């Protein structure tokens, strides 16, 4: 029996959200009866700070960056974006052509960043019979913006021509991108709603967290999460100024926060012995267990992890270059799962007011939405791997003889 080979691609431009999502999927697949070989491909070199599950490995592509207008550029190499994409595309073709996955799961961008994945997608499907899946967050942006961008990038055509299925990492009851974004009937029949992806909890205390937990003792704390951190300094600063003098507060800045911004936050915290600033943590679960209140930006993975941990957070979403975080947060607010503060109203007083009187968590509200995305993804992968299915049927028939 041939072991299934599954590859997961993420283009990676802002933060570690795409990578974290694919790592969560990889962990679930490796813990399932499929026991596949898993190859992760992405462009965030900070992926090395995240623990890859046993049985998976990764290839890091030369990094690209998206500015506040949504334009791509080389993040580090002093080359044009055209040369960088050519290099990334050649790397993808070599890696995937050698690995020859039975299943390729692509995160968010149907043709890859600036079309870098399209040549190898076509080759894998025609030459190797690779099954292909496009995985999408529930909310992309305002519908008019998404329709315009998808038309320019020929995304719907790619869904029709290059993919066997389109997975929506969300619950249709909260948001329905099929109708909102005007997906054609040809694409609609390929759509599967997986439910939200909430990582399996790990209570492993990483070394960087041990002194923080020791400092906390048995006291609860207020926690501030700003995702990758590249645009989170305003929220972190307001949080540090808004935490009451007699409360403990922790900010996790994320690996992408510019050094001068992190230095500014460290200076703010240095005046208060009950405040701490941490750069990056690969595992948040032990800290979330100690947090009494959580203030966070509204990235997909952050929100899913907070809700699955039983928190009702205050979300201060990003609104540029996309309104994705704002739109998702407002939807979840209608279910009573989060509170939302517009970044236009962000100041220490607003943070302080919420921290002093956060609304109670309503466990029943959480049950209204599907957070079983990882289990459903394992089921869908099993259905898409006829090689594995045939082997399983063969074993069952042999056992019956």
> If pLDDT is split at 50, 70 and 90, which confidence band does 197 have?
very high
In the chain, the percentage of residues whose pLDDT exceeds 90 is 69
Residue 76: its pLDDT value, please?
85
What does the chain come to in residues?
401
Distance between CA atoms of residues 190 and 140, nearest Å: 18
Q: Are residues 212 and 358 in the same domain?
A: yes
CA distance 113 to 10: 9
Residues 181 and 230 occupy one common structural domain:
no
pLDDT given at position 53: 81
C-beta atoms surrounding 111 within 10 Å: 20
Q: What is the per-residue pLDDT for 321?
A: 83
User: What was the pLDDT predicted at 390?
Assistant: 44
Are the C-beta atoms of residues 6 and 353 closer than 8 Å to each other? Answer: no
- Asked whether residue 123 falls in the same domain as residue 236, the answer is no
Residue 401 has pLDDT above 60, yes or no: no
Mean pLDDT, rounded, for 140-150: 96
Of residues 6 and 49, more confidently modeled: 6
Q: Are residues 34 and 137 in the same domain?
A: yes
- In this predicted structure, the answer to whether residue 39 has a pLDDT above a threshold of 80 is yes
Domain that holds residue 14: 5-197+372-400
Residue 201 pLDDT: 66
Confidence of residue 361 (pLDDT cuts 50, 70, 90): confident
Does residue 37 contact residue 3 with C-beta atoms inside 8 Å? yes
Q: Are residues 185 and 289 in the same domain?
A: no
Residue 226 lies in a domain: yes
Number of domains forming the structure of the chain: 2
Classify residue 98: in a domain, yes or no: yes
Task: Report if residue 389 sits inside a domain.
Answer: yes
Verify that 280 and 245 share a domain, yes or no.
Answer: yes
Same domain (yes/no): 286, 303 = yes
Q: What is the pLDDT of residues 151-172, one digit of tens each?
A: 999 999 999 999 999 999 999 9
Over 90: is that where the pLDDT of 275 sits?
yes
Give the count of beta carbons closer than 10 Å to the beta carbon of residue 350. Answer: 16
pTM score, whole prediction? 0.91
pLDDT of residue 205: 64
Q: What is the pLDDT of residue 68?
A: 67
Residue 300's domain is classified under what CATH number?
A: 3.40.50.2000
Task: Say whether pLDDT at 235 is over 90.
Answer: yes
Asked whether residue 103 is domain-assigned, the answer is: yes
Cα 150 from Cα 113, distance rounded (Å): 13
Residues 175 and 124 placed together within one structural domain of the fold? yes
Distance CA 43, CA 147 (A): 26
Q: Check pLDDT > 50 for residue 263.
A: yes
**Element (DSSP H or E) covering residue 74:** strand 72-74
In tens, the pLDDT along 285-299 reads: 888 988 999 999 999
Cis? peptide before 321, omega within 30° of 0: yes
- Of 141-150, 167-176, 225-234, give the lowest mean pLDDT range: 225-234
Contact indicator for 181, 140 with CB cutoff of 8 Å: yes
Q: List helix spans (H) across 69-223.
A: 81-99, 118-123, 143-153, 155-162, 177-180, 185-188, 210-216
Residue 181 in domain: yes
Provide the β-strand partners of residue 168.
Answer: 136, 193
CA distance 81 to 75: 9
Q: Residue 399 pLDDT > 70, yes or no?
A: no
Residue 38: count of CB within 10 angstroms of its CB: 26
Same domain, 187 and 50: yes
Whether residues 20 and 166 share a domain: the answer is: yes
Query: Chain-wide mean pLDDT for the chain?
Result: 89
pLDDT-wise least confident of 3-7, 153-157, 212-216, 396-400 = 396-400
- Give the per-residue pLDDT at 1: 67
Q: Provide the pLDDT confidence category of residue 174 given band limits of 50, 70 and 90.
A: very high
Label residue 365 by pLDDT band (50, 70, 90). confident
The reply to whether 320 falls in a domain is: yes
pLDDT higher at 213 or 332: 332
Share of the chain above pLDDT 70, in %: 91
pLDDT grade for 61, boundaries at 50, 70 and 90: very high
Nearest to 192 by CA among 162, 166, 160: 166
Give the strand pairing for 249-252 and 221-225: parallel
Closest C-alpha to 19, from 63, 54, 50, 56: 50
Do 314 and 376 lie in one domain? The reply is: no
Q: Is the dihedral of CA 377, 383, 385, 390 positive or negative?
A: positive
Region 223-231: mean pLDDT is 92
Burial 220-259 (b: 16+ CB within 10 A, else e): ebbbbbbbbbbbbbebbbbbbebbeeebbbbbbbbbbbee
Q: Is residue 202 part of a domain?
A: no
71 and 153 inside one domain: yes
Considering the domain boundaries, does residue 353 fall inside one?
yes
Confidence (pLDDT) at 396: 32
């Amino acid at each position: 029996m041939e072991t299934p080979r599954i590859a997961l691609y993420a283009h990676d431009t802002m933060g570690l959200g795409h990578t974290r999502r694919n790592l969560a999927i990889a962990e679930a697949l490796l813990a399932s009866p499929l026991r596949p070989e898993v190859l992760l491909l992405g462009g965030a070199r900070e992926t090395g700070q995240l623990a890859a599950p046993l049985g998976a490995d990764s290839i890091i592509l030369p990094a690209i960056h998206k500015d506040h207008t949504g334009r791509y550029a080389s993040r580090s190499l002093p080359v044009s974006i055209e040369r960088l994409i050519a290099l990334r595309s050649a790397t993808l073709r070599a890696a995937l052509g050698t690995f020859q996955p039975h299943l390729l799961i692509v995160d968010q961008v149907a043709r890859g960043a600036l079309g870098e994945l399209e040549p190898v997608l076509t080759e894998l499907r025609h030459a190797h019979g690779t099954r292909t899946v496009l995985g999408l967050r529930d909310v992309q942006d305002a519908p008019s913006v998404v329709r315009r961008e998808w038309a320019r990038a020929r995304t719907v055509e790619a869904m029709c021509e290059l993919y066997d299925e389109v997975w929506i990492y969300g619950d249709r009851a909260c948001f329905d991108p099929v109708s909102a974004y005007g997906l054609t009937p040809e694409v609609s029949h390929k759509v599967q709603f997986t439910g939200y992806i909430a990582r399996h909890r790990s209570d492993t205390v990483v070394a960087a967290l041990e002194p923080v937990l020791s400092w906390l003792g048995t006291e609860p704390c207020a926690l501030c999460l700003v995702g990758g951190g590249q645009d989170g300094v305003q929220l972190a600063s307001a949080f540090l100024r808004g935490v009451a003098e007699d409360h403990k507060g922790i900010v996790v800045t994320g690996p992408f926060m510019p050094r001068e911004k992190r230095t500014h936050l460290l200076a703010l915290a240095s005046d208060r012995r009950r405040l701490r600033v941490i750069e990056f943590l690969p595992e948040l679960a032990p800290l979330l267990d100690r947090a009494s209140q959580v203030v966070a930006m509204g990235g997909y993975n952050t929100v899913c992890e907070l809700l699955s941990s039983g928190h009702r957070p205050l979300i201060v979403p990003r609104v540029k270059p996309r309104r994705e975080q704002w739109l998702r947060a407002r939807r979840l607010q209608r279910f009573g799962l989060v509170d939302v503060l517009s970044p236009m109203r962000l100041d220490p007083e607003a943070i302080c007011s919420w921290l002093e009187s956060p609304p109670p968590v309503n466990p029943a509200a959480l049950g209204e939405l599907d957070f079983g995305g990882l289990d459903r993804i394992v089921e869908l992968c099993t259905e898409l791997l006829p090689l594995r299915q045939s082997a399983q049927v063969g074993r069952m028939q042999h056992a019956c003889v």
